[in-house]
Amino acid sequence: MTSGRKSPKISFMRDSIRYIWHVGVLALVVILGACAVPYVPTPAVVKADRQELMEVFSAGYRNITEKYIEDVSVETVALGGLGGFSSIDPALTVDNEAGQITLSYSGDFIKVIKAPAADNVIGWAALTSDMTIAAKDVSADMGGASKEKIFEAVFDGVLSGLDIFSRYAGAEEAKKNRARRDGFGGIGINFHVKNKQTLISKVLPGTPAYKAGLKKGDIITEIDGKTVAGFDNSDIILLLRGPTKTNIDIRIMRKPFSSPMTFSMTRTHIVPVTVTESRDHGILKFRISSFNQDTARALASKLAKAKSEMGKSLKGVVLDLRGNPGGLLKQSVKVADLLLTHGGIVSTKGRHLDSLHSYEAGGRDLADGLPVVVFIDGKSASAAEIVAAALQDRNRAVLIGTASYGKGTVQTVIRLPNDGEITLTWSRFLAPSGYPLHGLGVRPVICTSDQKTSPEYIDRTLSAGPELKATFESWRIPVLQPAEARNKLRKSCPAEKHDADTEMEVAKRILGDTTIYTKTLDLSTGTSQARK
């Protein structure tokens, strides 16, 4: 009876032969390496797609090594990228031994190339391209992968070794990212797909859809003659969006009418709405969901209009930044500047000269000195934290909520030749009082991390007095404190996600009583450095 297992003797012989073969190959590599000349990229005609690989890898490697917040060599970056091959096919491995870069497949040597100089961008980009082509020749998974999949694997391999905020987006994802930041050619509607029907959920004022007469509740049946029944959101977005000044026909069904209606319009530049407004007994509340290129302008416009309409009934302004993940740095600076007349807003420091900035307020306070309250929570990050920290440190607003996320780094966006993009950490930002927000965040003066009533929150805050001031002094130490110290400070007001009305109830009480507002504002007064 056989068990199906090979005899130990045969297995031993086979392994011995494999060992001897590998040792021989290694010896040959060492001998060749000893007399090898520095690696010179082979001509682009070796493979038709090599030139494109070279362009994308070299652009990525150059920008990462020049702009990343910490000094990192091209060699380190490229080796991280080559390690990304295994995300496509785990049998692919890349090793660096004695200056020889070796590609193996299931333990067998496939290609060996002498490593270029550590700072040779072109050399490492060429090496990565040649290793990519060699890997495609031996791996079915790699051979069947698109160029975009390979770019994603390589740059994910690079960026995952840097920090959690640096990332790569392929061409399609990058296009969506740019649309969120900068806008897109469209008609100005929000929609959702339900039961294979595309329902318009909102028509933005002043847009082509609004002017043409589309309405909330309309069911889109055709776009430019294409039936959309069964299409998903992505398919419909592709049909709706396009270059500005191009025409589009939308066919809809509208209750109670039984016949379809066709609307013709011309696409225009649409920027997603990030600022919404509500009014509550003399309090003007602005919900800012993120920061894109239109955020500051929209806030200024809405604030000016509301002031004109509300007149003396306007008691104060609330900026709701809860759940705001951030966005464009310069927009956060402009938003803070709308409520400040002078002094620092934020400063940024990185390794690249272009990352060094100090932003100052220089306009007029559009709220005309009215009391201001800012809501933050554990999901308020980046640009939202810049606004919150600036208004708090400049003694301009009372912050209510929980400790913010603590994303104290700035990312720059690098567009690559394949239309993908790298979002790369390149600087840290400091609050006006000089403290770095990285891993610490912003602390509200009125902490709502536990379940209390509005009066309890206020009474507890006012009674804290000297203890709370001491907490803010420790919070604002102008150096990056050890992680243990930062975590201890954050425990004084644990970060949580909030979307209830608790903060608004507290805000109403504060904005309705000048004495309480002044006292709470004083508790979080910044250092003398912040007030200069």
Question: Helix or strand or coil: residue 184?
Answer: strand
Mean pLDDT of 276-284: 95
pTM, two decimal places: 0.81
> Has 290 been annotated as catalytic?
no
Lowest mean pLDDT among 258-262, 330-334, 523-527: 523-527
The alpha carbon of residue 15 and the mean position of all alpha carbons in its chain are separated, in whole angstroms, by: 50
Residues 255 and 327 in one domain: no
Residue 184 has a pLDDT of 87
- Residue of 12 and 95 predicted with greater confidence: 95
Residues 338 and 471 in one domain: yes
Give tens-digit pLDDT for 469-525. Answer: 999 999 999 999 999 999 999 999 999 998 878 999 999 999 999 999 999 999 987
Residue 354 is assigned to a structural domain of this protein: no
Residue that the structure tokens 């902490």 belong to: 447
Residue 82 is assigned to a structural domain of this protein: yes
Residue 363 has a pLDDT of 81
Provide the token pair at 251: 């066919």
Residues 141 and 28 in one domain: yes
Give tens-digit pLDDT for 66-111. Answer: 999 999 999 999 999 999 999 999 999 999 988 999 999 999 999 9
Residues 214 and 67 in one domain: no
Residue 284 has a pLDDT of 97
Residues 297 and 444 in one domain: yes
**Could you give the angle at which helices 50-67 and 74-83 cross, rounded to 10 degrees?**
130
Q: Which of 114, 136, 315, 407 is catalytic?
A: 407
Q: Tell me the pLDDT band of 49, cut-offs 50, 70 and 90.
A: confident
Decide if pLDDT at 5 tops 90.
no
Number of domains in the chain: 3
Residue 179 is assigned to a structural domain of this protein: no
> What is the domain-level CATH number for residue 189?
2.30.42.10
Mean pLDDT of 378-383: 96
> Has 407 been annotated as catalytic?
yes
Residues 23 and 118 in one domain: yes
Residue 466 is assigned to a structural domain of this protein: yes
> What is the domain-level CATH number for residue 518?
3.90.226.10
* Number of Cα atoms under 13 Å in the Cβ half of residue 161: 17
> Has 313 been annotated as catalytic?
no
Give tens-digit pLDDT for 155-214. Answer: 999 999 999 999 999 999 999 888 888 888 999 999 999 888 999 999 998 899 999 999
Question: Helix or strand or coil: residue 348?
Answer: strand
Q: Which of 166, 380, 382, 524 is catalytic?
A: 382
Range of the domain at 282: 275-343+364-405+436-527
Residue 123 is assigned to a structural domain of this protein: yes
Q: Which of 393, 433, 449, 524 is catalytic?
A: 393
Q: How far apart are CA 418 and CA 331, in angstroms?
A: 28
